[in-house]
Structure 1
Amino acid sequence: MENFIAWAFGTSSNTNSLGNQFRQKRMIFFKNQLDRIPKPIKILDIGGYEEFWINAGLTDRSGIHITILNLESSKTKHKNLISVKGNATNLSAYSDNSFDIAFSNSVIEHLYNSDQQLKMAYEIMRVGKYHYVQTPNKYFIIEPHYLLPYFQFIPKSIRFYILTKTKFSRFKKWSSNEAQQYLDEILLLSEKDMKELFPSSKLTKEKFMGMTKSFVVHNFEI
């Protein structure tokens, strides 16, 4: 039972979780695109982390250089990865098309409001010759951050109570600070929202039991 809970409810950073299995399947498409682009390839990962690329098998790969941008930089262990400090909504440190690929996985829904999401989308399309952006579907039956059905549509005050007073979400009681932070920052996106943010991009749907679990927008030539 414990192993099943870890598989079904673990975060995507857990290599044995269901969420990570979806992520690995999703990355097959991305890695296929890398094989089509002349080396060296410069990737800007907006809001990511080193473990993601380790899990994807793209560390220490010749001809692939990954810059991981977050609000704070951190040390990296792999020579083809560097970590820099920056803001997803303002990439003015980089010129137009300065990266071969601007990449972001499950980040754009963490920007508090639609204005910030629009700024991030603009910057992604500006600095990357190609872009690849994934985000959960607002209307999927399970809210992915809390793993509760249709939790995103419950009033915030009730969500806060559930998170801090029960163990319904991920079998734990959230601290007040952690719960409030997530409730403030997460703004899930619909298919319509993503098409408006990335109007010239291709949109693909990740399915689970016939339902759309998440979206990927990209401009790879396929």
Structure 2
Amino acid sequence: MTILDVGGTPAVWEIINFADQPDIQITLLNISEFKTSHTNITSVIGDARDLHQYADKQFDVVYSNSCIEHVGNIEDMKRMANEMRRVGKRYFLQTPNRNFPVEPHFVFPMFQFLPLAVQVFLVQHFSLGWIGKTPDREKAEKEVRSIQLISKKDVQMLFPDAKFGEEKFAGLTKSLLAYTV
């Protein structure tokens, strides 16, 4: 089996015991290289929006977990979605739900619905979730703008041929799934 993990790390494959399995070849594609000591995991530098180095249907599965919200605007997301669909025989995508009440990167209630100026102020003055305090205004704004959460409607538009699922927490949809079988 060949897997392209768009935006991933070796950790997920270690957890599910795919690391070092000789019949599974995993390619991690990121904007920076990940070191891996696993015999079946290769790390490459690339852009999820342009996978020209790969042939149509080259991978058995294209997998992406919490990456699409980091690639840019909706047009960038369309390019990523189209590339995932092109290079994979099947695909699986997970992304945080924009409408979940706690923003998962900043781990702050309703952060994604606050005005940009308020988001930037918060990042400048506090460490929030995975994001450290960033006093420089330009850097704080860049950090805030680097994450564009999407809704169920967006996922359905980006992956029209997919089946859809939802991950729930306390009865609310925390994450959205798009996949083919």
TM-score, normalized by length of structure 2?
0.93
Q: Which residues in structure 2 correspond to 1:134-213 (within 5 Å)?
A: 134-167=94-127, 169-170=128-129, 174-175=133-134, 176=136, 179-213=140-174
Offset at 1:112? 1.9
Looking at structure 2, the residues matched to 76 and 219 of structure 1 have their Cα atoms a distance apart, in angstroms, of 28
Structure (1 or 2) with the greater helix fraction? 1
| Offset, 1:172 | 7.8
- The 8 Å contact of residues 105 and 130 in structure 2, kept in 1 or not, is answered as no
- Distance between the aligned counterparts of 2:118 and 2:71, measured in 1? 22
Work out whether residues 121 and 197 of structure 1, in 8 Å CA contact, stay in contact via their aligned partners in 2: yes
Within-5 A mapping of 1:21-32: none
> How far apart in 1 are the matches of 2:180 and 2:129?
35
State the alpha-carbon separation in 2 of the partners of residues 178 and 214 from structure 1.
27
User: Deviation string for 1:3-36 (max 9, x for gaps)?
Assistant: xxxxxxxxxxxxxxxxxxxxxxxxxxxxxxxxxx
1:133 to 83, 93, 101: 93
Higher strand share: 2
> Secondary structure of the equivalent of 1:123?
helix
Q: Which structure is richer in relative contact order (CA contacts within 8 A, separation 6 or more)?
A: 2
Unmatched tracts of structure 2, length 5 or more: none
Q: Distance in 2 between matches of 1:114 and 1:137?
A: 15
CA distance in 2, matches of 1:64, 1:161: 46
Distance 1:163 1:90 in 2: 31
Check if 1:87 corresponds to 2:53.
no
Deviations 1:68-123 (A, max 9, x none): 01122233200010011111000011110000001100000011201100000000
Alignment TM-score, normalising by the size of structure 1: 0.76
The code of the aligned residue for 1:192 comes to K
Is the contact made by 1:133 and 1:218 (CA closer than 8 Å) also made in structure 2?
A: yes
Specify the SS of the correspondent of 1:214: strand
Matched, 1:52 2:12: yes
SS in structure 2 of the partner of residue 116 of structure 1: helix
> Per the alignment, in what secondary structure is the counterpart of residue 134 of structure 1?
strand
Q: Does structure 1 residue 219 correspond to structure 2 residue 168?
A: no
Cα shift at 1:147:
0.6
Count how many residue pairs are aligned between Structure 1 and Structure 2: 179
What does residue 117 of structure 1 align with?
Answer: 77
Contact 2:8–2:64 (CA<8 Å) still a contact in 1? Answer: yes
Indicate the percent of aligned positions where both proteins have the same amino acid. 39
Residues of 2 paired with 1:178 and 1:64: CA distance? 40
- 5+ residue gaps, structure 1, are 1-40
Letter of the structure 2 residue corresponding to residue 82 of structure 1: T
| C-alpha RMSD of the superposition | 1.7
CA contact (8 A) 1:165 1:173 kept: no
CA distance in 2, matches of 1:185, 1:70: 15
- Work out whether residues 105 and 129 of structure 2, in 8 Å CA contact, stay in contact via their aligned partners in 1: no
